């Protein structure tokens, strides 16, 4: 999962406390390295010479992949620690800023990006229409928006909620980041709300993908592979700016 705050509240999820452990773990785990990222990469067009915003860059894995393929990258994250880790990883090969997606991205010019990429970040945002309007503003004509998020039905089942059609705040406990479990909060919303947020803000949907784990996942993480081949974990959306 990637990083952001809710309603501008930096304390909502205290990622500063476990940022390094998070980055280390997601470099090669089943859900990120062998499930979400390969699917995201497979949908991206040629990025050479493209100006790309990495919205919710975490430790900079996506930003590094983009830079290595010739993209002009701007990376942002709410977490100052994640910003520092991304800067260390990229060594001045991209512009990296601390920024809150719940607020207008006033430091970014309109019509100045070819692609907005956001990995596992938007489920931390309550108001998708506001952030999508900003993405629409900064994208060039017919610019691409591609993002991944929690699969709504997965969250509905896992948290045993009663109303699938509700948009609601959930709380989860993450283990394996050193010390005591980490409490993480995020929003669950139905698929219809997700798609409406895009169409209401001037985007045309091209694809909605339910990823499948890779063969490497099967070899390295057989239990996770079995789970992800029968129960969805994430969704990936690809849309373009409508003029």
pLDDT (tens digit per residue) in 22-63: 888 899 999 999 999 999 999 999 999 999 999 999 999 999
Could you identify the residue written with the tokens 């910003």? 83
pLDDT (tens digit per residue) in 147-165: 999 999 999 999 999 999 9
Cβ neighbors of 87 (< 8 A, separation 6 or more) are 60, 96
Cβ neighbors of 174 (< 8 A, separation 6 or more) are 181, 182, 183, 184
**Does residue 204 carry a pLDDT above 90?**
yes
Average model confidence (pLDDT) across the chain: 92
pLDDT (tens digit per residue) in 98-150: 999 999 999 999 999 999 999 999 999 999 999 999 999 999 999 999 999 99
Strand blocks (E) in the chain: 51-55, 72-77, 95-98, 113-118, 139-150, 168-174, 182-188, 203-209, 234-241
**Cα end-to-end span (Å), the chain:** 32
d(CA 189, CA 64): 31
Residue 13 has a pLDDT of 64
What phi and psi values does residue 55 have, to the nearest 5 degrees?
-95, 100
User: What is residue 106's three-state secondary structure?
Assistant: coil
**Which fold is adopted by the domain 15-241?**
Rossmann fold (3.40.50)
- The domain limits of the chain are 15-241
Give the C-alpha distances (Å, rounded to integers) separating 135 from 94, 120, 143, 159.
19, 16, 9, 30
Residue 3 has a pLDDT of 35
What's this model's pTM, rounded to 2 decimal places? 0.92
Could you identify the residue written with the tokens 């207008």? 104
CB 71 within 8 A of CB 53: no
């Amino acid at each position: 999962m990637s990083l952001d705050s809710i309603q501008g509240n930096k304390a909502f999820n205290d990622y500063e406390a476990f940022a390094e452990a998070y980055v280390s773990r997601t470099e090669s785990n089943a859900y990120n390295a062998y499930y979400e990222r390969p699917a995201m990469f497979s949908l991206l067009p040629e990025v050479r010479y493209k100006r790309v915003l990495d919205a919710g860059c975490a430790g900079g894995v996506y930003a590094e992949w983009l830079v290595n393929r010739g993209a002009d990258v701007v990376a942002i994250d709410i977490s100052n620690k994640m910003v520092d880790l991304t800067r260390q990883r990229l060594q001045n090969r991209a512009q990296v800023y601390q920024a809150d997606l719940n607020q207008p991205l006033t430091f970014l010019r309109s019509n100045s990006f070819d692609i907005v990429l956001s990995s596992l970040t938007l489920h931390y945002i309550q108001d998708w229409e506001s952030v999508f309007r900003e993405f629409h503003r900064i994208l060039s004509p017919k610019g691409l928006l591609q993002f991944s998020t929690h699969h709504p039905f997965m969250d509905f089942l896992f948290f045993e909620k009663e109303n699938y059609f509700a948009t609601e705040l959930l709380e989860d406990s993450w283990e394996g980041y050193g010390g005591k479990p980490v409490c993480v909060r995020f929003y669950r919303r139905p698929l219809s709300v997700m798609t409406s947020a895009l169409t209401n803000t001037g985007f045309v949907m091209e694809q909605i993908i339910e990823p499948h784990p890779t063969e490497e996942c099967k070899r390295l993480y057989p239990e996770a592979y079995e789970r992800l081949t029968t129960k969805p974990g994430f969704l990936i959306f690809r849309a373009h700016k409508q003029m």
